[in-house]
Amino acid sequence: MKKIILFASGSGSNAENIIRYFQDKKTAETVAVFSNNPNAQVLDKAQKLGVPGYVFTKEELNSGKVLEQVAALNPDLIVLAGFLWKFPTDIVAKYPNKIVNIHPALLPKYGGKGMYGMNVHRAILENKESHSGISIHYVNENYDEGAMIFQAEVAVDVCITPEEIALKVQELEHLHFPQIIDKLLQS
């Protein structure tokens, strides 16, 4: 069975969705959830689903300690599901084209440092965009610049709050992200 490691910083709705998807499909399993936030709800959700959680500091991430923990788990794919820190180059170098991220906008628009969650949805609303969506891409050494794997879009021209945009985008995330991960693991 293929092994997935998730990295997340917050509530973990995508992480939970991915864990449940593969528990049902039985083609892969989530072997760990790593978080930089000891209070992240994702850790509770993972624990309830039987997936161990690991909390780390920025120093541990950048010193190679997290890489050692990841390598010991021997993942087939590393998935960033709402992970807010820049991913370290040592992990990117060890796992080329084995690390994927989901971004809540149609890259290259609204990507880069500080562009996550409500910051993205607010910017889309302020710029009166008619569409938004998701971008699933490989992770490289720069924020949101890795090779594109998949995009899906949704009309947001009727939305009047960033929260409404967030809900529409999250529906796309929950629908497509596990399926794309599954396809990547099969290729």
| pLDDT above 90 for 141 | no
Q: Has residue 23 got a pLDDT over 90?
A: yes
Q: What is the pLDDT of residues 57-89, one digit of tens each?
A: 999 999 999 999 999 999 999 999 999 899 999
Q: Give the pair of three-digit tokens for residue 108.
A: 């290259």
Note if 121 is an active site residue. no
What is the per-residue pLDDT across 118-130, written as a single tens digit (0 to 9) for each?
999 999 999 999 9
Does the pLDDT value for residue 187 go beyond 90?
Answer: no
4, 27, 36, 78 from 137: Cα distances, Å: 16, 21, 21, 12
pLDDT band at 3 (very low <50, low <70, confident <90, very high): very high
Identify the active-site residue in 103, 121, 137, 176.
Answer: 103
Q: What is the mean pLDDT of residues 88-93?
A: 94
Give pTM, 2 decimals: 0.95
| Digit-coded pLDDT (tens) for 143-167 | 899 999 999 999 999 999 999 999 9
Whether 115 contacts 105, CB under 8 Å? yes
